[in-house]
Structure 1
């Protein structure tokens, strides 16, 4: 691990997607260690073993670099459609898949990104929308399948209710800075989410 005070490590030259990936991983590591305010193009370049002009050629601003680094990190959290045969078990499975990832991002959003939101004039809600990506389609597929199979009343499935278990998971992660317990996940599904749809 290369801290900002260290000299860059010189190795074989990287190009294209490999170099971009190394820079984004370095930016993510810097964000985790130093927060948005402490991250600089110089520190990212040093950590990636390259020079500042290489970073400058790819990103005009620190905000743009951090956005791309967060998207890259977010893209590693791939949701798998559980297809258990019931909305309850599908929803619990999806929440379990998202649980640790939400907790990790919650720590960053609360402790590391205040200056990011201020500088870019954006909000945690806008960041969430940017990072949801393809995971939304898996969540929507699970609930639509339950409607198609007559398991729940589609007329009651408003966008807010469909998001409810995931919003509660995210809220708990932000408040406690740790994953939600399996018991709490089942309580959310059994006592809050499903009763609203039946």
Structure 2
């Protein structure tokens, strides 16, 4: 018996599994998602999935990462505020594709499993977000809007944390007013405060 599904290897197979996981998430939500259902949809087996992702949360994080990476270089829109609004909007748009219930489910599981917590932290720390933010801040420094300052890891991760918190508490999509408030009331004052402290 020949089955074309059994001949898939490497990236092709992984993409099929991640696409299947995303489809399951979209249909049933995180609490009802099972590895068995993902395997059936992807035309593979549970052991094949578990060899790549040790838990349901790890699979969901990988499926999310495939859907919402930020690859684009940050455009220079002429001001720190405009650049940050662009970035926050890009993140929020991708987050809107993810049900807030799913985000909450992954976070809840992460708190129960240290290995998943580590995986989440590694994912956030290695995301293109840090590079994009670095470019935005460098542009602001070049324009004279900010003094040079080193950005701690948590500050680089904060846009994701802020938007995730808003999505869990208030649901998605996040309004333009919410995004503007996060930029104006939280992130710009934080950057300016860090730059001021660095200057002393």
- TM-score w.r.t. structure 1 length? 0.71
1:81-129 CA-partner distances (Å, limit 9, x unpaired): 121121111111111111122342643121x336632552367796265
RMSD: 3.5
Query: Counterpart in 2 of 1:23?
Result: 17
1:135 aligns with 2:129: yes
Does structure 2 conserve the Cα–Cα contact (< 8 Å) formed by 1:63 and 1:120? no
1:96 aligns with 2:112: no
Q: What is the distance in 2 between the residues matched to 1:113 and 1:191?
A: 28
User: Are the structure 2 counterparts of residues 115 and 187 from structure 1 closer, same or farther at C-alpha, using a change threshold of 3 Å?
Assistant: closer
1:182 aligns with 2:176: yes
User: Are the structure 2 counterparts of residues 67 and 165 from structure 1 closer, same or farther at C-alpha, using a change threshold of 3 Å?
Assistant: closer
User: Are the structure 2 counterparts of residues 165 and 15 from structure 1 closer, same or farther at C-alpha, using a change threshold of 3 Å?
Assistant: closer
- TM-score w.r.t. structure 2 length? 0.70
Q: What is the distance in 1 between the residues matched to 2:156 and 2:108?
A: 31
- State the number of aligned residues: 187
Q: What is the distance in 2 between the residues matched to 1:192 and 1:33?
A: 35
User: Are the structure 2 counterparts of residues 58 and 151 from structure 1 closer, same or farther at C-alpha, using a change threshold of 3 Å?
Assistant: closer
Query: Counterpart in 2 of 1:48?
Result: 42
Task: Note the 1:1-198 alignment, pairs <5 A.
Answer: 14-36=8-30, 38-75=32-69, 77-103=70-96, 104=98, 106-110=100-104, 112-113=105-106, 116-117=109-110, 120-121=113-114, 127=120, 130-131=123-124, 133-154=127-148, 166-195=160-189, 197=192
